[in-house]
Amino acid sequence: MQFITYYPSAASYMSDTSRSLIAALLFACLLLGSVWATLGGGLPPADFTVINESEIKSVDPALISGQPEGRIAYAIFEGLVRNDPKTLEPIPGVAARWEISENRLTYTFYLRNDARWSNGEPVTAHDFAYSWRRFLDPRTAAEYAYQAWYIKNAHNYSLGGSGIEPDDPVEVELNLSPDAKNTLRGKILHGKLVRILPRNDDERDFIVEIGGKQITYRPTDDSEAADYDPPQGVAWCRQVLLDFREVGIEVLDDLTLQVTLENPTPYFLGLLGFYPLFPVNQRCLETYGAPDWTKSRNIVTNGAYTIAFRRIRDRIRLVKNKYYWNRENVRLEVVDVLAVESLTTALNLYLTGKADWISNVPPPAMRELIREDPPRNDLNPAPYLSSYYYLINTLREPLNDVRIRRALSMALDREEITSSLLPAGEPVSLSLVPPGIEGYQMQTADAENIEEARRLFAEAGYPEGHGFPRLEILTNTQETHLAIAELIRKQWQRALGITVKTRNEEWGAYQTSLRQGKYDIARRGWISDYTDPNTFLDMFISHSEQNSTGWSNAKYDQLVENARQEVDPEKRFRLLEKAERILLDELPLIPIYTYVSKNMVKPYVRGFYNNVQDEHYIWAMWIDHSTEGSNEFMRSGP
């Protein structure tokens, strides 16, 4: 629902005045009082209300991949470590302490004995082993699975049948009834892989020796296994993959987990505070199946909050988890997370006191808000480790031609984009890795050069755009993304003589289109998961679930892998710089700008800090109406 529609041109951004803007917003307030109260259904008020920018797709830590879902995941789940809300340095979470071996390969985590699930059951090392195995299981199809590849043999395990070779110890997962819950594993048989027999395309049979007997297994789905007998001499199975006991995840006892890495990884602890590696409750998953286990009436969580209810296109209400180990330091009892895609609606709700925190502000309003005198005490824009760019589907002609991709990048006027549409001071970008990582030397793509872009188009067979097929830009539904896409459409049409259309989809459909490669060009944003260039660069290795562009480069993959193994920090960065150089020469993506945080936070909110990842944790916040002066948000910077 949207009460005021802002979709102005660049010129109109420049001509808006504070008086007309505020008048429009006050008009919206007349509507908000009744309309949003109706959506709230007469609920008791929450202690704290935050605007999420879209309807979330899931709260399953293994499957989510966006900021809106992440905000909720950080509230309802907790990993071995948490991130300090100000510095983002790892601090104890479910693990009360840990030890790291001298060679930096083995981490031993000692779980606190008072960590509990929201049903009162203890959180154990077995929960993490179960959750991480599920996260790596190729059947889960987790986009972030590569984040666990630092663990010994985790990469090979996640590749399933493609990650094993003859003589490897393997596990064979047998089929279940098609009616079985989709979160249940079939019976596991352990053996040794003898031989792989290619059949056609990607299909293979696996000869496995189990108990001295060789059996030929053919992977298939549960329905086929139930409906049809296998060919003579063949046995059905779900999958054959590396024996999970070979993966560097070992439960030493109920409260001790040992993790062995492939190579020393300086940011490994930081990764453990990232939601894909949070635990899930095995009994809950196997009782209800997916996605039903995530419904509010079923879900079992281990974080500071649990879900009281969810209303689609309205809100998720969080309530404090009475079993959470640190519950005495969780100050907000009830939190509402509103699903509001319209930035204008979000701002209206904030200005009328119906929200305490919004994470984004519509550009025309931002332009006026940052000019207010005296300065506002609830707005503190700050750059952070992030990148806004367009993905290019290199599997589609003529986008498979690097000359076309370079021309599209050089035909962009990034200064016009940022100056006219992004008034918070977003810096233009010609790189994927943003500035701010000490010791890393920035790599850049070619700057704007219309003449060279036209020459490349002509060289590729499209002089002045003649014969070039119509391109489509995919964005998710949000005013800023739509406005940027529209301006880029005009820039490309003006500079290259090509026809470009735009397509926008709601968040869930947009994520699906990205994952399935159903786009020509798609807007994408990335915020660092940890303070290292690798968080940006490993997205584009050939087997990354985040790489939907179809682009693959063996030398790039090797450089990123070599950096993963390099223990010398300076040498690591030199390898990653070479990798980014390849990426920016071949351009499966077009860098556009670096994000600037645009949070608005009420002055009475405490425990909210600006930081380098624009990551903010509800469990750390509280309300204090008695304190005068600026809060932590206004006093902090990344």
Distance from chain centroid for Cα 479 = 21
d(CA 296, CA 316): 9
Tokens of 254: 């109920």
- Exposure letters 260-289 (e unless 16+ CB within 10 A, then b): bbbebbeebbbbbbbbbbbbbbbebbbebe
Q: Give the contacts of 316 (CB within 8 A, at least 6 positions apart).
A: 52, 56, 72, 296, 307, 309, 310, 336, 337, 339
Tokens of 358: 């919004």
Question: Looking at residue 235, what is its pLDDT?
Answer: 98
Question: Looking at residue 18, what is its pLDDT?
Answer: 45
Question: Looking at residue 75, what is its pLDDT?
Answer: 99
pLDDT at 14 over 90: no
What is the pLDDT confidence band of residue 2, given thresholds at 50, 70 and 90?
very low
d(CA 336, CA 270): 28
| SS3 assignment for 500-542 | EEEEEECHHHHHHHHHCCCCCEEEEEEECCCCCCHHHHHHHCC
Q: What does residue 484 show for φ and ψ, rounded to 5 degrees?
A: -65, -45
DSSP 211: T
CB 236 within 8 A of CB 225: yes
pLDDT at 7 over 90: no
Question: Looking at residue 350, what is its pLDDT?
Answer: 97
Mean pLDDT of 438-442: 94
Q: Do the bridges between strand 315-320 and strand 334-339 make them parallel or antiparallel, or are there none, so unpaired?
A: antiparallel
CB 391 within 8 A of CB 522: yes
Q: Which residue has the higher pLDDT, 589 or 30?
A: 589
CB 271 within 8 A of CB 110: no
What is the pLDDT confidence band of residue 24, given thresholds at 50, 70 and 90?
low
* Residue type for position 584: L
Question: Looking at residue 10, what is its pLDDT?
Answer: 32
DSSP 162: G
Q: Is 312 helix (H, G, I), strand (E, B) or coil?
A: coil
CB 140 within 8 A of CB 288: no
d(CA 420, CA 145): 38
Per domain, the residue ranges of the chain are 10-60+286-379+598-635, 79-282, 385-594
DSSP 470: P
What is the pLDDT confidence band of residue 490, given thresholds at 50, 70 and 90?
very high
Torsion on CA atoms 47, 53, 57, 60, rounded to nearest 10: -50
CB 104 within 8 A of CB 98: no
Taking only Cα atoms into account, the Rg of the chain, rounded to an integer number of angstroms, comes to 26
pLDDT at 560 over 60: yes
d(CA 547, CA 530): 19
d(CA 210, CA 215): 7
Alpha helices (runs of H) in 262-376, residue ranges in sequence order? 268-271, 282-288, 343-351, 363-369
* Residue type for position 89: E
Q: What pLDDT, in 10s, does the model give residues 511-539?
A: 999 999 999 999 999 999 888 999 999 99
Mean pLDDT of 190-212: 94
DSSP 396: S
Q: What does residue 241 show for φ and ψ, rounded to 5 degrees?
A: -150, 170
d(CA 249, CA 230): 35
Q: What pLDDT, in 10s, does the model give residues 544-557?
A: 888 999 999 999 99
What is the pLDDT confidence band of residue 41, given thresholds at 50, 70 and 90?
low
Percent above pLDDT 70 for the chain = 93
* Residue type for position 398: P
Looking at 179-288, which runs of residues are DSSP E strands? 188-200, 203-210, 213-219, 235-237, 239-242, 249-253, 256-260
49 CB neighbour count, 10 Å cutoff? 23
d(CA 151, CA 105): 9
* Residue type for position 628: E
List the CATH code of the domain at 79-282.
3.90.76.10
Q: What does residue 54 show for φ and ψ, rounded to 5 degrees?
A: -160, 165
d(CA 312, CA 295): 12
* Residue type for position 40: G
Q: Do the bridges between strand 169-173 and strand 239-242 make them parallel or antiparallel, or are there none, so unpaired?
A: antiparallel
Q: What pLDDT, in 10s, does the model give residues 298-334?
A: 999 999 999 999 999 899 999 999 999 999 999 999 9
Question: Looking at residue 382, what is its pLDDT?
Answer: 87
626 CB neighbour count, 10 Å cutoff? 6
Identify the bridge partners of residue 388 per DSSP, sorted by sequence position: 525, 593
Alpha helices (runs of H) in 214-339, residue ranges in sequence order? 222-227, 268-271, 282-288
* C-alpha closest to that of 1 among 339, 366, 354: 339
Sign of CA dihedral 478, 481, 485, 488: positive
Q: In what order do the strands lie in the sheet with 386-392?
A: 500-505, 471-476, 521-527, 386-392, 589-593
Mean pLDDT value across the chain:
92
The counts of H helices and E strands in the chain are: 19, 27
Q: What does residue 531 show for φ and ψ, rounded to 5 degrees?
A: -85, 80
Q: Which residue has the higher pLDDT, 454 or 2?
A: 454
Would the CATH topology of 10-60+286-379+598-635 be identical to that of 385-594?
A: no
Distance from chain centroid for Cα 52 = 15
pLDDT at 12 over 80: no
10-60+286-379+598-635 belongs to CATH 3.40.190.10? yes
CB 170 within 8 A of CB 243: yes
Mean pLDDT of 260-281: 95
Tokens of 45: 């008020």
State the residue for tokens 């949000």: 478
385-594 belongs to CATH 3.40.1500.10? no
Mean pLDDT of 123-133: 99
State the residue for tokens 């915020």: 527
Q: Do the bridges between strand 500-505 and strand 471-476 make them parallel or antiparallel, or are there none, so unpaired?
A: parallel
* C-alpha closest to that of 553 among 566, 543, 565: 543
pLDDT at 488 over 90: yes
Mean pLDDT of 72-89: 97
Question: Looking at residue 8, what is its pLDDT?
Answer: 31
Question: Looking at residue 5, what is its pLDDT?
Answer: 27
d(CA 473, CA 87): 37
Entry pTM: 0.85
Of the given ranges (2-6, 254-258, 504-508, 592-596), which has the lowest mean pLDDT?
Answer: 2-6
Q: Do the bridges between strand 386-392 and strand 521-527 make them parallel or antiparallel, or are there none, so unpaired?
A: antiparallel
d(CA 61, CA 52): 17
d(CA 414, CA 430): 9
Q: Do the bridges between strand 256-260 and strand 239-242 make them parallel or antiparallel, or are there none, so unpaired?
A: unpaired
Question: Looking at residue 638, what is its pLDDT?
Answer: 64
Distance from chain centroid for Cα 68 = 9
d(CA 210, CA 217): 11
